[in-house]
Amino acid sequence: MISSLLPRLEHVGIAVADAAPVRTLYRRLLGTLPYKVEEVQDQGVATHFIAAGAAKLELLEALHDDSPIARHVARRGEGLHHLAFEVADLAAHMERLREAGFRLLQDEPQPGADGKRIVFLHPKDTHGVLVEFCESQPALPPPTRVAVPGGSLAVYSWGSADRPPLVLLHGAAGSTPTETAVLARALAPHFHIAALDFAGHGASDVFPDDALTADRFVADVQAVLEAFGWPAAHAFGFSMGGYIAAELARRHPDQVERLAVHASNAFWDEALVAQMNARLQPDALPARVQAQLDHVHRDWRLLFDRMRTFVAGLPALSDVADRLQAIQQPTLVTAADQDDLFPLQSALDLHAHLPDSRLGVLPGTRHGIAHVSVPALAELLHAHFLPEAARSFG
Ligand code: ZN
């Protein structure tokens, strides 16, 4: 059934030979620069999005000579490339259009820029103007449940099962939807991704009688690997998730192929514990944040209490350096240069102690994946986990 929403002009695609002068042009015309640049590798195109009222302009710049945009510019010059109409239910509209005799250039919706799924109509059927229909992707796939003793974990999955497996681990008092999902979407074309909510976090069960410990979280990840039938996977962790990914790599080296951590800290002192735990005081949070947390976790006040205990136990790890030295997997350590929780020195220390480590520093002032450029972080992770597939930037 087709939604009552009528197709809405979402964007106008404009083919350009070189985006730089066209960006300048629209800054002069509209007083604004593109709010986002995104590469769509499948199409060989960089898209520059410029806000223009209810719709937007999408400058299309070829990434290489084989790109359809390069061929379009060579044949027809720069200019209008396509009109895109957004619909709520793309599959239903594709059926409607086929029944009406339109030829579609793709049998199935394709991944487009800006989190869209898209399909093009044959321009011979549309009087010379290429027409795209698009729909916004659902923000999150529904989680599956993975059974563990006493309950179950919520696990979100992206990407095709024939891609290399990758687990994504969120931070303390975080969740997949609020932290790692944004990265999963960027990495989904290249990996089969499982992102779990740790016990007591997000949509996973609360397990009120269990202590939340590193042992527990490592076992959570192992349960997910087993449920997905993965003897081993690449592992990425944000903040505390980085600690858990590293512990999994150290304790069970056969289960982690390559490791990456972002905005993670290994060397705790009392001052850092106090700073971390100040963030885990439920009543100190603004009412607006408390209301959000009601939607993120099943019992966030209990979770915060338990995670303060978890954090307070961290400095007891007197053998952190030895633990890090024991990690043999190739590891990527990334950080925001001005992270407001863990100083850049945290990343430098990790990098110095891990035997096979690379370092990536991104501009950013806040502690969170979404506070650095997600495409840039995804690019570093893609190149680290799949070095054979890494593109050259020549
Ligand atoms: Zn488009």
Does residue 124 sit in the same domain as residue 172? Answer: no
Cα of 296 from ligand 1 centre, angstroms: 33
- pLDDT tens sequence across 103-147: 999 988 887 887 788 999 999 999 989 999 998 766 688 899 999
| Cα dist from 114 to 59, 109, 161, 350, whole Å | 13, 14, 24, 34
Nearest-angstrom CA–CA distance, 153 and 170: 13
Does residue 163 sit in the same domain as residue 282? Answer: yes
Nearest-angstrom CA–CA distance, 288 and 299: 16
- The residue among 109, 136, 163 that closes a domain is 136
Nearest-angstrom CA–CA distance, 87 and 240: 39
Q: Is 55 domain-assigned?
A: yes
Cα of 21 from ligand 1 centre, angstroms: 20
Does residue 53 sit in the same domain as residue 176? Answer: no
Cα of 83 from ligand 1 centre, angstroms: 7
Cα of 140 from ligand 1 centre, angstroms: 22
Does residue 125 sit in the same domain as residue 149? Answer: no
CATH number at residue 129: 3.10.180.10
- pLDDT tens sequence across 365-390: 889 897 888 889 999 999 999 998 76
Q: Is 170 domain-assigned?
A: yes
- The residue among 136, 152, 167 that closes a domain is 136
**Confidence class for position 185, pLDDT limits 50, 70, 90:** confident
Taking residues 302-318, report their average pLDDT: 88
Does residue 80 sit in the same domain as residue 22? Answer: yes
Nearest-angstrom CA–CA distance, 378 and 249: 21
DSSP string across 57-97: EEEEEESSTTSHHHHHHHHH-SEEEEEEEE-S-HHHHHHHH
Does residue 314 sit in the same domain as residue 340? Answer: yes
- Is the Cβ–Cβ distance between 203 and 154 less than 8 Å? yes
Does residue 180 sit in the same domain as residue 113? Answer: no
Nearest C-alpha neighbor of 104 from the set 93, 115, 88: 93
- What is the distance of C-alpha 370 from the center of its chain? 8
Statement: residue 1 has pLDDT above 50: no
Alpha helices, H only, 207-342: 214-228, 240-251, 270-278, 287-296, 300-312, 320-325
Cα of 126 from ligand 1 centre, angstroms: 16
Query: Looking at the chain, which runs of residues are DSSP E strands?
Result: 8-16, 36-40, 45-52, 55-62, 79-86, 110-111, 116-120, 130-136, 144-148, 151-158, 165-169, 192-196, 233-238, 256-262, 331-336, 357-362
Q: Is 193 domain-assigned?
A: yes
Cα of 240 from ligand 1 centre, angstroms: 38
Does residue 335 sit in the same domain as residue 222? Answer: yes
Residues found in the chain: 394
Cα of 67 from ligand 1 centre, angstroms: 15
Statement: residue 248 has pLDDT above 80: yes
CATH number at residue 322: 3.40.50.1820
Identity at 136, one-letter amino acid code: S
Nearest C-alpha neighbor of 37 from the set 54, 64, 57, 21: 57
Nearest-angstrom CA–CA distance, 335 and 339: 7
CB-side exposure of 88: number of CA atoms within 13 Å? 6
Does residue 196 sit in the same domain as residue 226? Answer: yes
In this structure, the strands spanning 55-62 and 8-16 are parallel
Q: Output the average pLDDT for the chain.
A: 91
Does residue 231 sit in the same domain as residue 212? Answer: yes
Does residue 247 sit in the same domain as residue 379? Answer: yes
Q: How many domains does the structure of the chain reveal?
A: 2
Give SS3 for 169: strand
The contacts of residue 258 (CB under 8 Å, 6+ apart) are: 234, 235, 329, 330, 331, 332, 384, 385
Q: Is 28 domain-assigned?
A: yes
- The residue among 77, 101, 136 that closes a domain is 136
Q: Is 263 domain-assigned?
A: yes
Does residue 149 sit in the same domain as residue 118? Answer: no
Dmax of the chain from CA atoms? 72
- pLDDT tens sequence across 69-95: 999 999 999 999 999 999 877 888 898
User: For the chain, what is the radius of gyration of the CA atoms?
Assistant: 23
- What is the distance of C-alpha 227 from the center of its chain? 22
Nearest-angstrom CA–CA distance, 249 and 331: 10
Q: Is 1 domain-assigned?
A: no
User: What is the value of pTM for the model shown?
Assistant: 0.69
Statement: residue 392 has pLDDT above 90: no
* Direct distance between the N- and C-terminal alpha carbons of the chain, in angstroms, rounded to an integer: 48
Residues lining ion ligand 1 (Cβ < 5 A) are 13, 84, 132
Q: How much of the chain, in percent, has pLDDT values that exceed 70?
A: 95
Question: Domain range holding 306?
Answer: 144-392
Statement: residue 150 has pLDDT above 80: yes
Q: Is 3 domain-assigned?
A: no
Q: Is 181 domain-assigned?
A: yes
